[in-house]
Amino acid sequence: MDNFVCQNCGGCVFRNVAEATYRKNKEDDFKKTIALIKNAQPIFDEPIFISDHSRRRAEMTFRFIKKQLVFGFNQQASHDIADIQSCPLLVDELNNLLPKIRRFLEELCAITITKKNKNKLITSRIQEGDIHLLKADNGVDIILHVKDKPELEHRLLIADFVNQNADVCRVSWQINASYAETIIQKSMPELYIAGYTVHIPQSIFLQASKTAENIMIEKVLSYLGNTHGKIADLFCGLGTFTYPLTKIPNCEIVSADSYEPSLQGLRNALNFNQIHNVSVVCRNLFKYPFDKDDFKDIQAVIIDPPRAGAHEQCREIAKLSTQSKPHKIVFVSCNPKTFTFDAELLINAGYHFERVVLIDQFVYSKHQELIALFTLTSKHIKEN
């Protein structure tokens, strides 16, 4: 476990368990969950366990009390902060930056702002907030979440911090649920996916681990096999699966999501990389799932929903006529329990639950993810 001293931050609840025991318990629990699905006997592919030092993003918190900064992760089931110096989950680039961020936050919270309120002068300081870190492929992206507006003194300090740290490419400031404001950007944070350069908008979802992301892309492509024609990428986000799909010969991709910042990032990347075989659809798939008109000529679907699952979308697929059903569905789930409901809907609609693989990218936690393959049974296969 290297030289890290772990506290009860709520992340590594099973770190004290022997690695072999932890992995076996997680695999056994996963199989028990899948066994809840009626009429399902999938092949369990070899589970994929991601190692320590692979987490590229972190959501940390800080509090300035009596001129003392507490900086770390929330303790388990608590608002208290486990003050940390480093974390065995994080990639080295983030761990190396944490001491510098700590000093930066101390200086940020020490700034006193004086303002006139009616006839009185009042002073204030930033006393608490969250900080989101992302190790992009070309540097570190930072978002400060605080309730106060940034003043000139804050902006100058942030500019000095970024200019003094070559590995920080952007710092943004976000108040509550508003869009983040870029304070300073030396270079646009980038991901390199399937040979494409993808610029990262602020506050979007990305897989926690670059290693896991690459493995998941490989597994999705493997499950698709020799699929050609029209493919739908539902809940596509920034397009993690869209980009590799574009390289399949003779394919047209329809990518849909409801979060406009992610979709704009996808559109920008498609334009930047001159990718011409993708249509981008802005759609709330919970309220307005793809229907028979949207599924016309679609041969395969990738579904990658949030933890709530894709119940309405699976119900809509189940309603399709035999001729309209996609031949293959690759389902990426971050919640096996909601997946069981969706899987039963697809099985009852004539799909064979063929294969599934456990993905463990949240190391030493209860969290499980999976990728599953559903294929139409021979009597339901759509004619091309």
- Reported as a pLDDT band with limits 50, 70 and 90, residue 378 is low
Q: What is the rounded average pLDDT of the residues 183-196?
A: 96
Do both 215 and 302 map to the same domain?
A: yes
Q: What is the rounded average pLDDT of the residues 84-99?
A: 95
pLDDT score of 37: 96
Q: At 187, phi and psi to the nearest 5?
A: -155, 150
> Mean pLDDT score of the chain, rounded to an integer?
93
CATH number at 70 reads 2.40.50.1070
- Mean pLDDT check: name the lowest of 176-180, 192-196, 230-234, 302-306: 176-180
Residues 6+ apart with CB under 8 A from 123: 112, 113, 114, 115
- Mean pLDDT check: name the lowest of 7-16, 89-98, 352-361: 7-16
Question: Counting every residue, how long is the chain?
Answer: 384
Do both 32 and 123 map to the same domain?
A: no
pLDDT score of 384: 39
Do both 220 and 146 map to the same domain?
A: no
pTM of the predicted protein model: 0.92
Instruction: Decide which of 170, 199, 228 is a domain's last residue.
Output: 199
Do both 110 and 250 map to the same domain?
A: no
On whether residue 12 sits in a domain, the answer given is no
On whether residue 110 sits in a domain, the answer given is yes
The CA-atom distances, in angstroms, between 4 and each of 15, 30, 54, 185, 230 are 12, 29, 15, 32, 48
Q: At 154, phi and psi to the nearest 5?
A: -65, -45
Q: What is the rounded average pLDDT of the residues 292-302?
A: 96
Do both 72 and 28 map to the same domain?
A: no
- Reported as a pLDDT band with limits 50, 70 and 90, residue 7 is low
Do both 163 and 214 map to the same domain?
A: no
Q: What is the rounded average pLDDT of the residues 51-67?
A: 93
Q: What is the rounded average pLDDT of the residues 124-153?
A: 95
Domains identified in the chain, total number: 2
- Reported as a pLDDT band with limits 50, 70 and 90, residue 115 is confident
On whether residue 2 sits in a domain, the answer given is no
pLDDT score of 53: 95
Do both 274 and 357 map to the same domain?
A: yes
Instruction: Decide which of 141, 164, 199 is a domain's last residue.
Output: 199
- Mean pLDDT check: name the lowest of 4-13, 147-156, 261-270: 4-13
pLDDT score of 105: 97
Percent of the chain with pLDDT over 90: 83
Do both 151 and 247 map to the same domain?
A: no
Contact 266, 233 (CB under 8 A): no
Selection from 168, 124, 129, 167 nearest residue 147 by Cα: 129
Q: What is the rounded average pLDDT of the residues 159-181?
A: 93
Do both 254 and 117 map to the same domain?
A: no
- Full residue range of the structural domain in which residue 25 is found: 19-51+207-380
Q: Distance between CA atoms of 233 and 231, rounded to whole angstroms?
A: 7
Q: Distance between CA atoms of 259 and 116, rounded to whole angstroms?
A: 39
pLDDT score of 150: 94
Do both 33 and 160 map to the same domain?
A: no
Instruction: Decide which of 199, 227, 243 is a domain's last residue.
Output: 199
Q: Distance between CA atoms of 5 and 73, rounded to whole angstroms?
A: 13
Do both 216 and 344 map to the same domain?
A: yes
On whether residue 8 sits in a domain, the answer given is no
CATH number at 243 reads 3.40.50.150
On whether residue 5 sits in a domain, the answer given is no
Q: Distance between CA atoms of 182 and 261, rounded to whole angstroms?
A: 14
pLDDT score of 379: 56
Specify the DSSP class assigned to residue 306: -
pLDDT score of 327: 96
Do both 211 and 358 map to the same domain?
A: yes
